[in-house]
Each structure stands twice: as C-alpha cells, then as structure tokens.
Amino acid sequence: MSEGKKPLIIVESPAKAKTIEKYLGGKAKVIASKGHIKDLPERELGVDIKNGFKPKFLIVKGKGKIVQALKDAASKASICYLGSDPDREGEAIAWHIAEEIRKVNPNISRVLFYEVTKKGIEEGLKSSRDLDRNLYESQVGRRILDRLVGYMVSPLLWRKVASGLSAGRVQSPALRLIVEREREIEAFKPEEYWVISAFLRKGDKKPFVARLRKIGGVEARIGSEEEATRVCERLKDARFIVANIKKKEVQKAPPPPFITSSLQQEAWRHLHLSPKQTMMIAQELYEGIEIPGEGLVGLITYMRTDSFRLSSDAVEEARELIKKRFGSDFLPPKPPVYRAKGRSQDAHEAIRPTSVLRTPETLKGVLKHEHFRLYELIYNRFLASQMCKALSDETECDIEAKDALFCAKASVLKFPGFLQVWREERDEKDEGDEDKTTVPEDLALGDELCLEELTKEQRFTKPKPRYSDATLIRELEERGIGRPSTYAIIVSHLLEKGYVERVEGKLRPTELGRIVCDLLTMHFGEIVDYGFTAKMEENLDKIASGEKKHTEVLSEFYKDFSLALEKAKKEMDLKNLGQSEAKCPECGSPLVVRVSKSGVFLGCSRFPECRFVTEFSRDEHGNVKVQSDQDLGLCPVCNAKLVLRNGRFGRFIACSRYPECKFTKPVLLSERCPTCNAPLVEKKSSKGKVFYSCSGYPKCKFSTRFKPISRNCPQCGAPSLFEGSGKRKSVFCLKEGCEYAEGRRPARRRKAQ
C-alpha cells in the first residue's frame, strides 16, 4: 500500500457511518453497505441439498452499485475494517463483503462496535480480529434451515389451502402457542365463588378490611350466594379477636439491566411499543442521534444481546451519579451481579446508556417523543439495576370470629431503594393485591375489633389471559425458542400474514391462523414442536462455538423433514379439520371450513352441487356461529340470500350464489365521516391492517387508522370522534381544523384528504 492511504471502515447503516466518521475526525473513511449485500435467490430454493446443503448466495437485487462502491473504496484503502453489527447476522454481512472486496484489497479485519462512542470505536479498532468462520456458518445454517422450511412448506400451503400463506421455522411454534392458549380459553368453564370481607375498626381508628380465609379450620370455599348469606348471618354478631400478628421486613431486589427480550417486554408494558417499533427506535439510538453541541452521538449500547454483563467503567460512572444524586443510602457496598439464564452468549454488554451523565432531562425536546421515552426507560432501568434493594414492612394479621378466620395484610414502603427511579408494570393484575390494606400500628394480640360491615362479593375463576407481545416473548424466551434478533420479527410476521390479530392489546389467532397451525401440527410435528425448536437453537449455538458443523445439523433435520414433506403432499387436506356442526340452510348438508384468497369462510360440503357460502365467527367457547343467520336481506340482482364476507380488504356484503352472481356492497358503519357526513366503512390494507374510510370515496378521500366512536364533537359538531390505541386511551376529533382532544392526541395521524 502506498503512503497516504487511509483505513476504510464498512458498517451497515449510513447513520452509524456518519457517527463513526465524526468521532474519527477524518482519520478514516467510513461507508455503509446498507444491510446485506448477498442473500439466497428469491425465485428458487438456492440450496444444493445433494452437495452438502451448499447455499447459492447472490448479490441482492438493487445492491450492485453499492457493491461496486465498496470495491472502489477498498482498492484505495490501507486496510479494510468490517464493522457490521456485533452478532451472527453482522458476521454474515461482513463475510459476504469480504468475499467481494478481497480481490482488490486482501488486508481485511473484523471490528466490533458495542457502542458508537469515541471510546467504543477506539476499543473496537484496537481489538480487531479475523472473520469468525464458525459464527458465519451458524448464521448460514440458520438461513438455510429457514429457507428449507419456508420454501418447501409454504408452496404446499398455497396448493392445499390458499396462496400467500407461509410457514416459518420459529414463527410456527409461536403461532401454536397463541392458538393453544385461545383454545384453553374457549374450553375453560368459569366457577362461581364468593368473597366475604369484614370491615373492622379498632377504637376510633380508620376501618380496615380483612378477608375470610377459613371456616372450621378448612379453607373457605363459598360457591353460592345462599351459602355466602348464611355465613354472613352467622358471623354478624360474632366477636372479632386478633389471634395472631406477623411482622417482617421484606427486601425487593432491583431488576437487572435490559437485554433484548426484557427491553421488548417492558417497552410494551410501559410505552405500548410493539417489539418491531422498539427495535427500530433502539437501532437509531445506538447508531447515533444529532445532539446540539455534540453532533451525532450513539446514546445506547448494542441492543441485540442476551447478556447482563456491564463494563466496569459504566458501573463506576453509575455509582458516582447515584451517590451524588440520591445519597450513599441508595448505593450498595458492592455492585450487584446478574447472571444470565440458559444459553446466553455473553458476547455483548447489557443494553445501557453510553453515559449516565447524559440524563433523560438533558435530551427532552432534543429527541423525538418515542425516542425519548425509550431512552428514558433504558436509562432508568440501568440506573435502578445498580441501586440498593427496596425495603417494606409487611404485616399479616389473623382475626378469629367464632369458627371463622379472617386475614388482613398490609405493606408499608420503608425505604424505596431502586424504586426511586423504576416503576414496575405487570401484564395482569394479581387478585392478591386487593387484599392489601392498612392496619393500625398499635394492633395487638387479643384486641377485640368492632365490626362495621360484612360484605359478600360474587366472583368467577378466570382462564389464563391471551398472550400480549410481552408475555409471548417471555414464553418464547423461557422455552428457548428464537434468539434476541428474532423476537420482534416473529410477532410482526404473524400479524402481517394475518395469522394473528390484536384484540384489546392481546394476540388472538384468526381463523386462518388456526387452520395453518392445525395443518402444520398434523403434518410437520417437528416444526411446531417446542422442544425440537429449542434443540435446534442449541445446535446453532454449537455451530457458533465450533462444536458442530452446520452440514451435520442440516442433514439431521432434513432426514425426517423430507419424509414428512412427501407424506404431506399426499395427505394434507382441509377436509380433515374443516367440519362444523352448522347445516347448510339451502340443502341441509354439513357446512365445512374453506379458504380462498379472500379469507376463511363456511361452504356447503356438497360443493359444487350446492354453492352456498357464508362468513362465520366463534362464540366464547369456540363454537361456530353462522353469520348469515343475521338478516342481511336478498340480492337485488338474483334474489338469493345476502351474506357477510371477510375479504382481503375488509368485510363486505355479497350474494350467496357467488361466483355465479357477483353482486357486492360495503358494510356501512353507524359512525359518519367528519368531512362529508357519509357513513364510514371498515377496510384492510394490503398488509392486513384495519383502517376506516369514507363510503363516498373517491369523491371524499377521508381515511384514518383510528377507530370511530358514535359521539358528536362538542367543539365543532363533527358526527364522530375517534379513539387512540394503547393503554391510555385518548379520544379526539379528526375534522380538519378542529383540535378537540380528551387526553393526549397521537403524535402522528392520517389526516383527511
């Protein structure tokens, strides 16, 4: 190399390239590959199964100019540093770039930037290494496995079920989890029980609540109102005596710093950000944000990690800030140590701010709203992880009344510790929380209490709730399914394919999702088997560590997979799982589930002799409800019955004699357009997302993703208001020029056109 040549650093994103170039101050040229430059071909399998599963990687369509620019820059560089993301995916990108530039410059080295800061960049360049073949082969193995499943099973679903469907090696067991949970909910039979509460008072103190726990020394199980009434009648004149008091100090340890899965879970709980949104925002915070006076700054460490490890410098900086801001009482004598579970790679640090001196307060008004909220979450979680435990004084009091035993529980926060900066959000409210009350501090053994009131309350046992984004990711993580880099993709893919839909923030399988899940379970048991999927992840880890070869893992998988594939080609049939108890209203034959490009529907089992079709839904127990039972009227063209259909772009009313008669009309909502007052209609985009538009289109082009509400705007008189999504519901007007809102108006909305 001639003198005067600069080093070249190749990273994935232009934002990251700009940040690194700024820190290096012209000492190196930094350019971006903009992600992968090579992948398997789109229109063929691209894997030579007979020749050791050799992949056919091609330049990604549209990346030719980028590859040529990389070669040109490499030919003029003293050394080429490949700085793609520090994970398996990044290693594969680096490997493919090296294959292309090696001919013009063989002086190539791999660098890992765990944080895009001056220190992180310098440390990465100092510890550069050769490309890791094992890590690369692990990623190649994963890509080939995914291609074999997707490219071979998906076309089978197209032929047997409907076009556009897909099967995925990791998404399929995730879908099975959601479907099985839904069926558990449908099969669940609620049991009635009654809670009896005593409102008690000591002297002139404030009353407190005690719950009935035992009768005659046995746990109280009251199953009817009559029984509850008898118990209350028998105890209303009883003496209530304090029989036992237990007091103890309870310590609550701080949570560990974020890893990918916990970040996605807490971002959903606290901020209602989907895993996909969380990772997109985190990527931008990692790569660099323009900060006044500083320029481009990487604000957090790398966000795809399963390790709780932290650098000693970061821990020391956090401890100094905690001591200064909160005092020595909030600082433990030694930094807490958090150990990862299971198959943690421990290759990266946990997710943390690159500097705790860059507080959220200093970035308010600088970062976009969602970026600020996520940064604040990451910052507070990291700070909390280095603080002292929270301390509470808990009191449990047993109170006797005849042969009944009541219990009162109280908890008083004694020292906040890490709770000073971190609040916890739970997926489901614990009924035990309702038992927490306050009891008089001077309550003593033998005290007789005054009964103010005995109440009885009817309750019913509840099934397990549907998965939320957070609880699904937690379940996948606990079962060893997927990796930090795949959790967000799994959830978004299930939604985009229409296999799952969000209902009140929870994931519910669609009819299509049920069918695909059942077919895969029936014919490709290994693909949806939780243990097998977790075992495959372990094998990919072993490839990365050099314990196994990817060809060995692929051969083991393909042996059984190919047999299942051939069998499914002969036996897969919707008839095996499409029966319903409903009868055809035209000929009396059973109705069966069918699938078309437009969606899932019921059709007569005597097709093509009888062509009756209709939409259907399910009741709370999963039983099929035929939608045509509703009075939709008769077709104005042929006088046949009209039925409700669920098409690719939303619901519509159609003739039951389709395809002979192709009459259709939209389903009009009761809510009206705020622009022209015409009825609104519910539609779906090409990606399956629901939106609402004016029935007067194309004359009126109003459309929005927000759900309409039948309420007039009190400010401008518009015929409908709209409701935002998320935990904290907001209601607002979308009439042009009106700013009426109850709660916070969403930052971005689709405006009337």
Q: What is the mean pLDDT of residues 275-295?
A: 93
Domain end residue (candidates: 460, 481, 506): 460
Q: Which helix (H) or strand (E) holds 650?
A: strand 650-655
Q: Are residues 116 and 201 in the same domain?
A: no
| 748 pLDDT higher than 60 | no
Cβ contact 93:32 at 8 Å: no
Domain count, the chain: 6
Q: What pLDDT does residue 111 have?
A: 97
Q: Are residues 562 and 475 in the same domain?
A: yes
- In this structure, what CATH number is given to the domain that contains residue 169? 1.10.460.10
Q: Report if residue 207 sits inside a domain.
A: yes
Q: Report if residue 498 sits inside a domain.
A: yes
Q: Are residues 505 and 582 in the same domain?
A: no
pLDDT above 70 coverage of the chain, percent: 92
Q: Report if residue 702 sits inside a domain.
A: yes
pLDDT level of residue 646 (50, 70, 90 thresholds) = low
| 515 pLDDT higher than 80 | yes
Q: Are residues 12 and 124 in the same domain?
A: yes
Q: Are residues 171 and 216 in the same domain?
A: no
SS3 633: coil
In the block, tokens 């050394």 appear at 79
Q: What is the pLDDT of residues 13-37, one digit of tens each?
A: 999 999 999 999 889 999 999 999 9
Q: Are residues 265 and 378 in the same domain?
A: yes
Active site residues: 302
Q: What pLDDT does residue 727 have?
A: 56
Alpha helices (H) in 267-346, listed in sequence order: 275-287, 312-326
CA-to-CA distance for 9 and 167, rounded, in angstroms? 38
Side chain identity, residue 639? N
Q: What is the mean pLDDT of residues 118-133?
A: 94
Q: Report if residue 253 sits inside a domain.
A: no
Q: Which helix (H) or strand (E) holds 672?
A: strand 668-672
Q: What is the mean pLDDT of residues 516-533?
A: 90
Q: Are residues 283 and 370 in the same domain?
A: yes
Q: What is the mean pLDDT of residues 722-746?
A: 79
Domain end residue (candidates: 574, 609, 631): 574
Q: Report if residue 170 sits inside a domain.
A: yes
pLDDT above 90 coverage of the chain, percent: 61
Cβ contact 268:469 at 8 Å: yes
CA-to-CA distance for 519 and 367, rounded, in angstroms? 47
| 631 pLDDT higher than 60 | no
Q: Are residues 548 and 604 in the same domain?
A: no
Q: Are residues 597 and 686 in the same domain?
A: no
Secondary structure (H, E, C), 212-249:
EEEECCEECCCCCHHHHHHHHHHHCCCCEEEEEEEEEE
Q: What is the mean pLDDT of residues 44-68?
A: 95
Of residues 382 and 294, more confidence is placed in 382
- In this structure, what CATH number is given to the domain that contains residue 108? 3.40.50.140
Closest CA to 301 of 119, 485, 111, 483: 119
The chain-wide mean pLDDT, for the chain, equals 88
Q: What is the pLDDT of residues 474-497, one digit of tens each?
A: 999 999 888 888 888 998 889 888
Q: Cβ-count burial of 335 within 10 angstroms (0-12 exposed, 13-18 middle, 19+ buried)?
A: middle
Q: Report if residue 364 sits inside a domain.
A: yes
- Hey, what are 430's tokens? 């614990």
Cβ contact 101:94 at 8 Å: no
Q: What is the mean pLDDT of residues 426-449?
A: 77
- In this structure, what CATH number is given to the domain that contains residue 429? 2.70.20.10
Alpha helices (H) in 369-480, listed in sequence order: 369-385, 469-479
CA-to-CA distance for 704 and 685, rounded, in angstroms? 11
- In this structure, what CATH number is given to the domain that contains residue 280? 1.10.290.10
Q: What pLDDT does residue 753 have?
A: 37
Q: Are residues 311 and 365 in the same domain?
A: yes
Q: What is the pLDDT of residues 138-194, one digit of tens each?
A: 999 999 999 999 999 988 888 877 777 788 888 999 999 999 999 999 999 999 999
Q: What is the pLDDT of residues 656-707, one digit of tens each?
A: 777 788 888 877 887 889 998 888 988 877 666 788 999 888 889 899 988 8
Q: Report if residue 1 sits inside a domain.
A: no
Q: Are residues 417 and 340 in the same domain?
A: no
Structural domain containing residue 633? 578-666
Q: Are residues 85 and 169 in the same domain?
A: no
Domain end residue (candidates: 339, 357, 385): 385
pLDDT level of residue 433 (50, 70, 90 thresholds) = low
Q: What pLDDT does residue 752 have?
A: 40
pLDDT level of residue 649 (50, 70, 90 thresholds) = low
pLDDT level of residue 750 (50, 70, 90 thresholds) = very low
Give how far Cα 89 sits from Cα of 37, 82, 697, Å: 12, 13, 45
Q: Report if residue 255 sits inside a domain.
A: no
